[in-house]
Structure 1
């Protein structure tokens, strides 16, 4: 069997500094220096993007210590705009954060540029407890699930 280890999730944005700050403030993500700037034939080849040039940073996700997975927030010098993300479209769906206080974190996220997609919902699962969740979007429209089990 091939050894596999999850490494990171990448978000492409039009303003990497602004979006990185959102994830730092709202979700306590920790910057992992240095700021990265990449370009060259190797990047073009691997991404399939001609004359690719990107800049951004990695943020350590909360709850896993110094060796946990990261969230990459990058910006290409040439961007392609797409329609707004929706929960049931094909492709990447959302990133999820398990939180103790959904209402408190929701308020913090909204005050930092997030938007509500759904409403806070809860469901009791036999032998598992109460599941509460809501979908929101970050300032770029990427979907985030806030969830809690009790």
Structure 2
């Protein structure tokens, strides 16, 4: 069987607050019970002695029950994080395709996020179309991209 993408994890000092942000702004849905993970198996699997992890799993919108997930965990003893940067190697951002970048950006701001850039028109992306896009930050300073495509019709 080929690999199937399942989830991305964000470590947060307040997983419930961050989960509410993704539910309220993007329509993610909670899946399953809150996770409470500890013991030998989680210590060995994470390589973290004394690991205690709690958090939630969210289904990302647009794919129904088979959607990839966003896992938001608190790890006991987690260090303070440096905010993600557009120029820093590693995970740069999560991207959500939206109908209206400004309306969604307004919801991000109302839910405790903040704007990182400004909404711009991409210009024509050959073979794909045009898009409005903007980078913002969630309440934990993770970068979120909003993209609103005006796709061109595929050649016939």
Q: TM-score, normalised by structure 1?
A: 0.95
Shift of 1:139: 0.2
User: What is the root-mean-square deviation in Å for CA atoms of aligned residues?
Assistant: 1.0
1:40 aligns with 39
User: How many residues get paired?
Assistant: 149
Q: How does 1:25-104 map to 2 (within 5 A)?
A: 25-104=24-103
> C-alpha distance in 1, partners of 2:110/2:148?
21
> C-alpha distance in 2, partners of 1:90/1:7?
22
Q: What's the CA shift string for 1:42-98, capped at 9, x where partnerless? A: 111111111110101100000000111110011012111121111110111110000
Gaps of 5+ in 2: 151-156
Q: How does 1:98-117 map to 2 (within 5 A)?
A: 98-117=97-116
Q: What's the CA shift string for 1:105-137, capped at 9, x where partnerless? A: 110110110111111011222443212100001
Gaps of 5+ in 1: none
2:132 aligns with 132
Moved over 6 A (4+): none
Q: TM-score, normalised by structure 2?
A: 0.92
The alignment partner of 2:135 has SS state of strand
2:17 aligns with 18
Higher mean C-alpha deviation, range 7-16 or range 116-125: 116-125
> C-alpha distance in 2, partners of 1:93/1:83?
13
> C-alpha distance in 2, partners of 1:84/1:11?
13
1:149 aligns with 149
